[in-house]
Amino acid sequence: MISTIVSNSLRAALYPLSAARRAALAPRGTWITLTLEGTVTEIERPFSHFAHPAQIILRGARPKPVLTLAVLRELAEAISADANVDGVLLRVEALACGSAVATGLREVIQSLRAAGKKVVAWLPDGGTTREYFVALAADKILLTPQSSLGPLGYAAQTTFVRRLLERGGLETEVYARKEFKSAAEQFSRDGYSEPNRKQLEALLDRLHAALLGAMADGRRIDENRARALVESSPYRAPDAVREGLIDALAYEDELPGHLESSSGKPKLVKAAMYLALSRVMHFDRMWDGPRVGVVEVRGAIVSSSQSTVHGVADARRVGAAIRAARANPRVGAVVLYVDSRGGSALGSDMIAHEVERLKEKKPVVAYFSDVAASGGYYVAALAQEIIAQPLTVTGSIGVIAMRLLASRLLEKLGVNHEVIRRGERADMLSPFRGWSEDERAAFNREIDGSYNDFVGIVARGRRRDVGEVEPLARGRVYAGADAHALGLVDHLGGFDVALARVRSLSETKLADRPVVISPPRGTVEPPEPAPPIKALMSFLAGQAMATRAEVDLLRMSLASPNERLFAWDGLSTEL
């Protein structure tokens, strides 16, 4: 409250100067310039950046560049309300994002056009499918003369190494539930299984249809023409103009000539400075009610990272953040942000348990970003609603484990491995011996139990019978649009839709600006899981997760031969 009073007082005192500088910065006929390059995400910590008003006004300091959809939506809202701004010039360079985020970028561009603003996309280095997919939402697309455009489409690619492992004396044993659970195929097969081929083709069909639809809408052609253009790509820039894929060629100094201005010559203003000044002129409400908390599940899910792995969703830290949101009276509702292919079954269950406890006290809505598959779906299954983009990859409701056996390798190397044991199965987890039928049956019971638990969690969260959900599970992945049609997702849309939905579920009015919830410093770790789960799940899972599920699975089999995973192997494709 005190900080709000001080901040608003400073803004009020400086408002005439801020307004004058804003008018000078963005007079009539202004075009806002924005570069989209590299990694683009939905949110980041903190949720948005605020530069100090005095720093911006008095020193003209540039705020940190933003490449999050949350801030881009804020920018679009400010531009849409400003009659002095004629349009936005987008410089689109190599993007690192999935199809869900790319769809979000398109939605931001479309919102600007719906508000009557022109949008021109300039691709100075040309572009691939991803960049072109985003640029197609603009009014006009420009390339530099010597660049190329390659809307090549989409391809799934996997390198199968079973025979290489076999040649080295390594064997794999895979335990998957069920036929669509394909994470270990790279190590256990010489090619795609038919179920995996079927699900990959369905995903590629959905992605390709979205590209053709975007081309048809953006370039005003029918989908047959769009398909023919994709089949004949790539194109040199002049050929792209001739084929109608883009509008014109332009070097950077020639860009103003392609911008329609209401004042004759357009004035170009960088987006970062424009947004910073817009924020300075915005007064915070004295009391805006509780805020929407955002808890992230980003990266491979592990039961404990032990502070040695970066870019993973540590279940204990995520759980601590959820508990903090539950206990904080200033947090009125929560959006669970998920961008994960899954991972540890134990870690996924720990997070899902905390989500269920949170739901007892506050509204919880899950938002699926680029990927929320397997464990990424599990953690959100008990949320009140699930929101996803049409091209989000989700589903993969199943479980998998893989053993890597090295007994033949030891034999080749002339190494003798001997065991003295007490207990018939004391060395069951050793990679240097196979399993008996009884041991294999015992482990299969564990896998079946994990699968049945997963299906049961989904059925409970979807408020449906297990018999209805199980045929939709079986490890199969879906595009968000297909998951929505099957009832695995409640609504299609971006993060803004998730915020709107969680606000609608709240009995109290919530503040406009959400806040990312981090686990409190010095958080006491939750109790250790009780046996037999701990004995079965906890060896080195936290240190075995990487960025790709195939590598994750190989590392996991080496570190913890009995680890069960809720993980999807991913789509190696141009998204």
pLDDT digits 0-9 by tens, 511-569? 888 999 988 876 545 444 434 334 333 333 333 333 344 445 454 444 455 556 666 66
pLDDT in tens, 397-445: 999 999 999 999 999 999 999 999 999 999 998 999 999 999 999 999 9
Residue 16 — pLDDT band, cuts 50, 70, 90? Answer: low
As a whole number, mean pLDDT of residues 77-91 equals 95
As a whole number, mean pLDDT of residues 202-211 equals 96
Q: What is the full DSSP assignment across 240-260?
A: HHHTTSSSEE--GGGGGGGS-
Residue 488 carries which side chain, given as an amino acid letter?
L
Residue at token pair 């971006």: 494
C-alpha 402/C-alpha 564 separation (Å) is 8
Please name the residue ranges forming H helices in 115-259.
129-135, 162-167, 185-188, 194-219, 223-231, 237-242
User: Is residue 449 pLDDT above 60, yes or no?
Assistant: yes
- The CA angle 229-230-231, to the nearest 5 degrees, is 90
- Sequence-distant (≥ 6) Cβ neighbours of residue 456 within 8 angstroms: 466
Residue 304, pLDDT score: 74
As a whole number, mean pLDDT of residues 10-14 equals 53
pTM of the full structure? 0.85
Residue 373, pLDDT score: 95
Q: Return the number of other C-beta atoms located less than 10 Å from residue 201's C-beta.
A: 12
Give percent helix, percent strand, percent coil of the chain, each to the nearest 5.
Answer: 40, 20, 40
The pair of three-digit structure tokens given for residue 163, joined into one six-digit string: 């025979």
User: Is residue 145 pLDDT above 90, yes or no?
Assistant: yes
As a whole number, mean pLDDT of residues 298-321 equals 80
- Sequence-distant (≥ 6) Cβ neighbours of residue 302 within 8 angstroms: 309, 312, 313, 314, 315, 343, 344, 347, 541, 542, 544, 545
Residue 14 — pLDDT band, cuts 50, 70, 90? Answer: low
Tell me which of 3.30.460.10, 3.30.1950.10, 3.90.226.10, 3.40.50.720 is the CATH number of domain 2-152+233-280.
3.90.226.10
Residue 57, pLDDT score: 43
Q: Is the dihedral of CA 15, 292, 493, 64 positive or negative?
A: positive
3-state secondary structure of 155: coil
User: With contact defined as beta carbons under 8 Å apart, do 95 and 36 qualify?
Assistant: yes
291-567 classified as CATH 3.40.50.300:
no
Question: Rounded to 10 degrees, what is the CA torsion of 381, 385, 391, 392?
Answer: -40
Residue 21 — pLDDT band, cuts 50, 70, 90? Answer: low
User: With contact defined as beta carbons under 8 Å apart, do 373 and 392 qualify?
Assistant: no
User: Is residue 85 pLDDT above 70, yes or no?
Assistant: yes
C-alpha 539/C-alpha 541 separation (Å) is 6
- Sequence-distant (≥ 6) Cβ neighbours of residue 224 within 8 angstroms: none
User: Is residue 3 pLDDT above 90, yes or no?
Assistant: no
Residue 548, pLDDT score: 43
As a whole number, mean pLDDT of residues 466-488 equals 97
Work out the mean pLDDT of the chain and round it to a whole number: 85
Q: What are φ and ψ of residue 35, in 5° steps?
A: -100, 125
pLDDT in tens, 40-66: 988 875 443 334 444 444 444 444 454
Residue 278, pLDDT score: 83
Residue 568, pLDDT score: 65
- Sequence-distant (≥ 6) Cβ neighbours of residue 124 within 8 angstroms: 91, 93, 143, 144, 147, 252
Residue 45, pLDDT score: 55
Residue 524, pLDDT score: 43
pLDDT in tens, 331-378: 999 999 999 999 999 999 999 999 999 999 999 999 999 999 999 999
Ranges of CATH 3.90.226.10 domains, the chain = 2-152+233-280, 291-567
Identify which has the larger pLDDT, 557 or 166: 166
Residue 50, pLDDT score: 38
C-alpha 397/C-alpha 456 separation (Å) is 11
C-alpha 280/C-alpha 529 separation (Å) is 49
Percent of the chain with pLDDT strictly greater than 90: 72
- Sequence-distant (≥ 6) Cβ neighbours of residue 84 within 8 angstroms: 23, 26, 27, 28, 29, 30
Residue 288, pLDDT score: 67
Q: What is the full DSSP assignment across 351-368?
A: HHHHHHHHHTTS-EEEEE
